[in-house]
């Protein structure tokens, strides 16, 4: 164990000055400098000595260190080559951490989980770069990986949309997408002041508990229906589905909605995940 817990702002400053590191806005580099938040993230993720953890974007290793202290093994993927020497120094005391240089969006994660984590299951924990939050979560959820949970710091407003229930203003296709694959819960709200440099937006830590048994349906069709429904959120579900460009008659859509016991006059934001599942199962195949 090291005496230098990395999240002291003075230590972060000293490290970045010594390595001549400059923060890259385009890589979403806002490093955590608050030990309480770092501990709360790892506690919220329920990381134990039995756990394999994949971290995305270790930065200078602030969260990585806390993960190393609690997990069996941590693999962290960092895109910025300029941080590799820093990480070698800051994490030198931990033999259960491996840093991989690469872009999380391009890495074969199935292979990584097989090779580094005996096939999993794994937990994912990260303070995500904001500019790629949605593509990263999309990839993690869609690729049928052996993941138990994903605990990540993201933009507060995006986290609110992910947990939004039908009938609320923030509810949309992102809520349906995330709830299809997981049970999301917001663990904590995080002020701007715990980052260096401070971002303009507030953040939340959200935990996605992965659902292992997904509904048995044509996923592509299901998400096409959701996309079409929310493409015109003020229109009725009947109108948005019938004007989207599917190969379906308005009357066929009306019949399908009635069979699913959904009012053709309802709007997308009134429909639950289960409603969308019912509609997509009843509708005939879609061609765009």
Task: Using the rule CB under 6 A, give the single segment among 29-37, 160-168, 218-226, 241-249 that binds ligand SAM.
Answer: 29-37
**Given 8, 11, 19, 27, the residue binding ligand SAM (CB under 6 A):** 27
Q: What DSSP element (H or E) covers 140?
A: helix 133-142
Locate tokens 């639950």: which residue? 272
Task: Using the rule CB under 6 A, give the single segment among 25-33, 112-120, 164-172, 233-241 that binds ligand SAM.
Answer: 25-33
Burial of 134 (0-12, 13-18, 19+ CB in 10 A): middle
Nearest of 187, 174, 118, 186 to residue 146 by alpha carbon: 118
Q: How far is CA 147 from CA 27, 98, 182, in A?
A: 25, 19, 11
Backbone angles phi, psi at 152, to 5 degrees: -140, 145
Residue nearest to ligand SAM (CB): 57
**Given 87, 104, 176, 257, the residue binding ligand SAM (CB under 6 A):** 104
Task: Using the rule CB under 6 A, give the single segment among 21-29, 225-233, 263-271, 273-281 that binds ligand SAM.
Answer: 21-29
Rounded to a whole number of angstroms, the minimum distance from the CB of residue 43 to ligand SAM is: 15
Query: Between residue 114 and residue 143, which ones bind ligand SAM under the rule CB under 6 A?
Result: 127, 129, 132
Q: Please work out the total of residues on this chain that contact ligand SAM, with binding judged by CB under 6 A.
A: 22
Q: How far is CA 208 from CA 147, 246, 265, in A?
A: 10, 32, 32
Nearer of residues 136 and 253 to ligand SAM, judged by Cβ: 136
Rounded to a whole number of angstroms, the minimum distance from the CB of residue 157 to ligand SAM is: 16
In order, the DSSP letters of 155-210 are EHHHHHHHHPPTTSTT-SHHHHHHHHHEEEEEEEEE-GGGEESPPSS-EEEEEEEE
Mapped onto helix, strand or coil, the DSSP state of residue 20 is coil
Nearer of residues 32 and 273 to ligand SAM, judged by Cβ: 32
**Given 92, 105, 165, 201, the residue binding ligand SAM (CB under 6 A):** 105
For 34-96, the three-class secondary structure string (H helix, E strand, C coil) is: CHHHHHHHHHHCCCCCCCEEEEECCCCCHHHHHHHHHCCEEEEEECCHHHHHHHHHHCCCCCC
Rounded to a whole number of angstroms, the minimum distance from the CB of residue 23 to ligand SAM is: 9
Query: Between residue 73 and residue 92, which ones bind ligand SAM under the rule CB under 6 A?
Result: 77-80
Query: Between residue 39 and residue 68, which ones bind ligand SAM under the rule CB under 6 A?
Result: 56-59, 62-63
Rounded to a whole number of angstroms, the minimum distance from the CB of residue 184 to ligand SAM is: 20
Rounded to a whole number of angstroms, the minimum distance from the CB of residue 77 to ligand SAM is: 5
Q: Site residues (CB under 6 A) for ligand SAM?
A: 27-32, 56-59, 62-63, 77-80, 103-105, 127, 129, 132
């Amino acid at each position: 164990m090291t005496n230098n817990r990395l999240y002291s702002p003075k230590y972060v400053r000293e490290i970045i000055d010594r390595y001549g590191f400059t923060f890259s806005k385009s890589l979403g580099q806002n490093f955590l400098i608050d030990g309480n938040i770092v501990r709360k993230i790892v506690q919220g993720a329920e990381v134990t000595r039995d756990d394999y953890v994949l971290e995305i974007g270790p930065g200078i290793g602030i969260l990585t260190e806390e993960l190393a202290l609690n997990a069996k093994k941590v693999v962290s993927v960092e895109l910025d080559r300029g941080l590799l020497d820093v990480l070698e120094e800051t994490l030198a005391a931990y033999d259960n951490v491996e840093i991989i240089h690469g872009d999380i969006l391009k890495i074969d994660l199935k292979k990584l989980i097989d090779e580094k984590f005996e096939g999993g299951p794994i937990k994912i924990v990260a303070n995500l770069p904001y500019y790629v939050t949605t593509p990263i979560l999309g990839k993690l959820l869609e690729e049928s990986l052996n993941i138990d949970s994903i605990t990540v710091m993201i933009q507060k407003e995006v986290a609110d949309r992910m947990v939004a229930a039908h009938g609320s203003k923030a509810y949309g296709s992102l809520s349906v997408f995330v709830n299809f694959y997981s049970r999301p819960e917001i663990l904590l709200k995080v002020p701007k002041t715990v980052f260096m440099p401070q971002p303009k937006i507030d953040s939340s830590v959200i935990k996605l508990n992965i659902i292992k048994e997904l509904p048995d349906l044509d996923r592509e069709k299901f998400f096409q229906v959701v996309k079409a429904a929310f493409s015109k959120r003020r229109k009725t579900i009947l109108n948005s589905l019938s004007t989207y460009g599917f190969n379906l008659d308005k009357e066929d859509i009306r019949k399908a909605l009635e069979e699913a016991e959904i009012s053709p006059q309802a709007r997308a934001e009134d429909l639950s995940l289960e409603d969308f599942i019912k509609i997509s199962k009843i509708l005939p195949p879609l061609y765009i």
